[in-house]
């Protein structure tokens, strides 16, 4: 009787890119529990991701969108331009429909939220590394049922009148101090409005905010 042939799943080499030490440590621990995932490197900001890709080898990047330096959609675009066949799985803090869509359009192959369990995360890693695409079930449902409304309403239409004024001034090249002087409000108030409008619109960096406003001619 011939012995049963056992086929082992191929080893998946992963680069972890996340700006939070506790998340990096947690992922390292979790992947150490997996038989066929090997962590090839850890990046704490966008520059380290680019540096790794010059000499390092991996099968997948597990990517946070809010690291210091170059991050978010801009980092995805840079990775895509440098290594278009390298799969990227975004590891997001929230089930944010706009962020997920932006990441997928920029070149990411999947989006998984940070509140998933180990089994779901590993399933997403395997699927994306194998050339597939993955998105959280809850987020996919949200996209299906809210997609039509989201396409009609532009992200900046969520802003209040004051937030819109500040947004346009930022896009027009004004600094926090200049905006505070022009609107006769405090620097702290300007910064608070800026943080809120960026959260509402799903921006992870000033560059994303500026590009969005310039592309749509939203300058003051």
Structure tokens at 68: 């210091």
Distances (CA, A) of 77 to 73, 74, 93, 147, 156: 6, 5, 20, 23, 22
Chain mean position to CA 125: 16
Indicate the domain borders of the chain: 12-147, 155-215
Q: What order do you get walking across the sheet with 37-43 strand by strand?
A: 37-43, 12-17, 60-63, 88-92, 110-113, 134-135
Whether the model clears a pTM of 0.75, i.e. scores above it, the answer is no
Overall CATH class of domain 155-215: mainly alpha
pLDDT score of 214: 84
Q: Could you tell me the pLDDT band of residue 94, with boundaries at 50, 70 and 90?
A: low
Distances (CA, A) of 141 to 98, 144, 170: 14, 5, 34
Overall CATH class of domain 12-147: alpha beta
**Span 39-60, average pLDDT:** 94
């Amino acid at each position: 009787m011939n012995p049963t042939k056992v086929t082992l799943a191929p080893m998946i080499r992963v680069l972890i890119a996340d700006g939070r030490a506790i998340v990096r440590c947690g992922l390292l621990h979790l992947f150490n529990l997996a038989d066929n995932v090997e962590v090839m490197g850890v990046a704490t900001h966008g520059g380290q991701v680019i540096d790794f890709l010059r000499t390092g080898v991996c099968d997948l990047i597990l990517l946070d969108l809010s690291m210091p330096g170059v991050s978010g959609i801009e980092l995805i675009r840079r990775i895509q331009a440098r290594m278009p066949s390298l799969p990227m799985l975004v590891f997001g803090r929230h089930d944010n429909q706009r962020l997920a869509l932006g990441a997928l359009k920029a070149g990411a192959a999947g989006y998984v939220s940070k509140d998933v369990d180990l089994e779901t995360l590993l399933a997403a890693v395997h699927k994306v590394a194998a050339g597939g695409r993955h998105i959280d079930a809850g987020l996919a449902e949200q996209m299906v049922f809210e997609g039509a409304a989201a396409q009609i309403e532009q992200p900046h239409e969520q802003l209040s009148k004051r937030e819109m004024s500040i947004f346009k001034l930022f896009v027009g090249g004004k600094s926090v101090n200049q905006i505070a002087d022009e609107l006769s409000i405090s620097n702290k108030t300007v910064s608070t409005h800026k943080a809120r409008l960026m959260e509402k619109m799903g921006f992870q960096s000033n560059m994303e905010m500026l590009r969005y406003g310039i592309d749509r001619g939203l300058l003051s």
